[in-house]
Amino acid sequence: MHALAASMSQIGLRTPITVREKNKKAYLVCGLHRLEAAKRLEWERIPCFIVPGDEHETRPWKISEDVYRAELSVLDRAEHINELCALIGKKGVQVAPPGGNQPHDRGIKRPPKRSALPKMTFADR
């Protein structure tokens, strides 16, 4: 928390927090550590994204941010990913592409046979 507050003090907040609105009140979706750091710095305002939806609709957003940004244990990360998959499944979204031969396959999922990009080499610095 101290490091985050120090960073925000020096360079500002680069990634706004995320909130949802209900009855003209803001409810935090993502960014608790950033919000706490702003309070520690005695900021009166903090940049935020306002997203539509209720708690259930914004839950996948919160889980995704936690999985990729938070320091989670292996068990917590697995539970978050499980919950995210279940929430996505409820919405009827297909998580993985269907298997087997696809009749009108236009190569969308395949890499190109020849890349238009030149070959690149990397040197040690």
**Fold for the domain defined by 1-52:** 3.90.1530
Angle at the Cα of 88 from the Cα atoms of 112 and 27, rounded to 5 degrees: 120
Residue for token pair 């960014």: 31
Residue 125: predicted pLDDT = 41
Domain boundaries of the chain, sorted by first residue: 1-52, 54-94
pLDDT beyond 70 at 118: no
Better pLDDT: 111 or 49? 49
Instruction: State the DSSP string of the chain.
Output: -HHHHHHHHHH--SS-EEEEEETTEEEEEE-HHHHHHHHHTT-S---EEEE-S-HHHHHHHHHHHHHHHS---HHHHHHHHHHHHHHHHHTT--SS---S--TT--SSSSPPSS-SSPP------
Query: What percent of the chain is predicted at pLDDT more than 90?
Result: 28
Query: pTM here?
Result: 0.59
Q: Which amino acid is at 114?
A: R
Model confidence band, residue 47 (pLDDT cutoffs 50, 70, 90): very high
**What tens digit of pLDDT does each residue of 60-115 get?**
888 888 777 667 788 888 888 888 888 877 765 555 555 666 556 555 555 555 55
